[in-house]
């Protein structure tokens, strides 16, 4: 079904279109849940490519595609590339929504996870604390997403 949606979006809107990117991301989420992280990573990567979309919601989508791609790279132990992609996602989130926004603070979490996995514990702890404290202050429900990394 997701593949058919992607083909339909490509036919109707063309390559690089936001609807096609969302269809690729849907396939990425499906494969991620199935434990097919290599495949999911490629789909998130494909979703994150293309021209920068003009609409804010489409840019928010692009952020989630980058985070998904980075998370898959981290799970697959491609830690240098995961760190690079997740730092790009963090910079994008800060630029898009502000440095103290919930999305920018949440973007710290997968980066901290990858840094911890890479043995960069001091930086990982700093980022995890920043996410934890910032989301707590905002009273954002996404605070819960930081607890595992923070602990």
Q: What is the pTM assigned to this prediction?
A: 0.86
Residue with tokens 């609409």: 55
- Between CA 27 and CA 23 the distance in angstroms is 6
pLDDT in tens, 57-89: 999 999 999 999 999 999 999 999 999 999 999
Q: Name the helix (H) or strand (E) containing 67.
A: helix 56-75
Rounded-to-integer distance, Cα 140 and Cα 104, Å: 12
The per-residue DSSP string of 33-52 comes to HTT-HHHHHHHHHHHH-SSP
Task: Read off the pLDDT of residues 18-45 as tens digits, 9 standing for 90 and up.
Answer: 888 999 999 999 999 999 999 999 999 9
């Amino acid at each position: 079904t997701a593949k058919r949606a992607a083909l339909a979006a490509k036919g109707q809107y063309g390559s690089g279109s936001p609807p096609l990117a969302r269809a690729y991301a849907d396939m990425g989420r499906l494969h991620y849940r199935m434990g097919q992280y290599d495949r999911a990573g490629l789909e998130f990567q494909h979703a994150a490519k293309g021209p920068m979309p003009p609409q804010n919601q489409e840019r928010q989508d692009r952020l989630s595609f980058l985070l998904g791609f980075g998370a898959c790279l981290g799970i697959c132990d491609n830690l240098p590339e995961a760190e690079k992609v997740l730092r790009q996602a963090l910079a994008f989130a800060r630029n898009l929504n502000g440095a103290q926004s919930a999305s920018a603070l949440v973007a710290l979490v997968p980066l901290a996870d990858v840094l911890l996995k890479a043995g960069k514990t001091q930086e990982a702890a700093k980022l995890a604390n920043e996410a934890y404290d910032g989301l707590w202050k905002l009273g954002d429900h996404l605070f819960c997403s930081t607890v595992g990394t923070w602990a």
